[in-house]
Copies of this chain bind each other. A is one copy, B any other.
Amino acid sequence: MQEPMQAYLDRLASNSPTPGGGSVAALVGALGAALGSMVANFTVGKEKFAAVEADVQRLLAGCEAAREELSALVQADMAEYGKVSAAYGMPRKTDEEKAARTAAIQQALKDAAQVPLKAVAACHRVLALNRELVDKGNPNLISDAGVSVALALAALECAALNVEINLSYIEDDTHNSEKRAALNPLLGSAALIREEVWDKVKQKMAQ
């Protein structure tokens, strides 16, 4: 994460294999989490919001933990995708080589699918934290709470799309069913939380 934003954007736009959509999804999730932290940081320690101080401290800790995890996933996605590319590059002249290559690809794809799955879970936590922050956070930052949930949902949906594209190459129905069973409830509830918080943001802005 010490890479300048411009360099990351340039690599992303280029035809280099990494970063790709999974890494960007985690980055956008981290940006959403950071905005939740910003709302909390403009609330804590202020006389005016003393009644919710303990709650907002807890929400801040939650946003910061999610941000840290999602920032690590930005790099982890590139590392795992690099391993998938390496497995595809293995020799495939003999039957033994072919079998070893296929096994390595399948294992690398399973490992790689874990990264966006973790990103989905972390983005979901950001959404849930915003459900409280939108009521307890400093109202001067109401639009930032809106941006936080919108980015967290988009990041979650993009991470889920990356899980799906990985699963589409994995020939293990039991594995894939398990992952989809973990994913689908989070996708549904995330969209509902986003709608609820976004509507509340709009209402508060109209007051």
Contact = CB atoms under 8 A, between A and B. Distances in A.
Interface in A121-143: 142-143
Interface residues of A, number: 52
A94 interface: no
B144 A21 contact: yes
A25 B28 CA distance: 10
A164 B204 CA distance: 12
Interface stretch (A29-37, A98-106, A181-189): A29-37
A5 interface: yes
Tallying the copies of this chain within the complex gives: 2
Given A1-B6, A21-B143, A154-B150, A15 B41 contact: yes
A163 to B, nearest CB: 10
Contacts of A154: 28, 150-151, 153-154
A61 interface: no
A30 B165 CA distance: 23
B157 A205 contact: no
Q: Determine chain A's interface SS by DSSP, over half rule.
A: helix
B9 A34 contact: yes
Contacts of A205: 161, 164-165, 168
Given A12-B35, A15-B38, A143-B164, 5 more contacts: A5-B5, A12-B37, A24-B147, A147-B162, A164-B205
Interface of A: 1-6, 8-10, 12-15, 20-21, 24-25, 27-28, 30-31, 33-35, 37-38, 41-42, 63-64, 67, 71, 74, 142-144, 146-148, 150-151, 153-154, 157-158, 161-162, 164-165, 168, 201, 205
9 contacts: A3-B5, A4-B5, A5-B27, A9-B31, A12-B38, A13-B41, A21-B148, A24-B31, A143-B162
